[in-house]
Structures are given as structure tokens and as C-alpha cells.
């Protein structure tokens, strides 16, 4: 993912779809989840915006690499379970 000036990922839309980039190695999958790479001048994740790499199968979650020249801002949540952030998740059985 590349943005010339800035990249903003904000909240859940009217169809209940969350903003962000997500990769998953699903249950039953073997290997490694996909990587997320972002290059931008500035990055804002707010009101539930996320980058998330997860593994629910047999293997590692992907890597998340953020290259921002100026600023990275992560703030806010829309509930106790949907918070803004950058996450890698490895389920116990993976």
C-alpha cells in the first residue's frame, strides 16, 4: 500500500465494514499469513482503523511494516473490542 501525501484509515462505515488492511491464515491453513507494507508521508489510524495480520492455522501471522516519513498517529476506538492499532495475532492452536 502506498500513498503520496498521507493515508487515513477511519472507523466503520455504514455497512459495518471496518477500515484497514487485514491478512489471515485461516483455520486449516498451513504456512505464513500475508504481509502488510505501507509507505507514506503520514499515517493516521483512528476510530477503529487497523492493520492486522493473524494466524488461526498452522503457521505464523504475517509481518506489518510501516514506513512513514513524517508522522504516525494511532488513536481512538469505537467500542471496547474495536480499537485503533497495529496488531499481529497468533491463536493458541496455530
For residue 39, being part of any structural domain is answered with: yes
For residue 46, being part of any structural domain is answered with: yes
Distance of CA 18 to the CA centre of its chain: 10
Contact, 87 vs 51, CB < 8 A?
Answer: yes
Task: Please say whether the dihedral angle defined by the alpha carbons of residues 26, 68, 2 and 48, taken in this order, is positive or negative.
Answer: positive
Q: Which residue has the cell 509507505?
A: 39
Domain that holds residue 48: 6-90
Say how many domains are in the chain.
1
Is the backbone of residue 86 left (phi > 0), alpha (psi -120 to 50) or beta?
beta
**pLDDT tens digits, one per residue of 5-19:** 556 656 566 666 677
**pLDDT tens digits, one per residue of 63-80:** 999 999 999 999 888 778
Residue 90: predicted pLDDT: 87
pTM score of the predicted model: 0.78
For residue 40, being part of any structural domain is answered with: yes
For residue 1, being part of any structural domain is answered with: no
Amino acid at each position: 500500500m502506498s500513498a503520496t501525501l498521507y493515508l487515513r484509515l477511519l472507523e466503520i462505515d455504514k455497512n459495518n465494514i471496518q477500515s484497514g488492511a487485514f491478512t489471515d491464515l485461516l483455520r486449516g491453513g498451513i504456512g505464513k499469513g500475508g504481509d502488510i507494507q505501507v509507505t507514506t508521508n503520514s499515517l493516521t489510524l483512528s476510530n477503529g482503523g487497523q492493520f492486522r495480520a493473524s494466524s488461526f492455522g498452522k503457521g505464523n501471522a504475517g509481518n506489518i511494516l510501516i514506513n512513514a516519513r513524517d508522522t504516525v498517529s494511532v488513536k481512538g476506538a469505537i467500542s471496547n473490542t474495536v480499537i485503533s492499532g497495529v496488531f499481529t495475532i497468533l491463536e493458541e492452536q496455530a
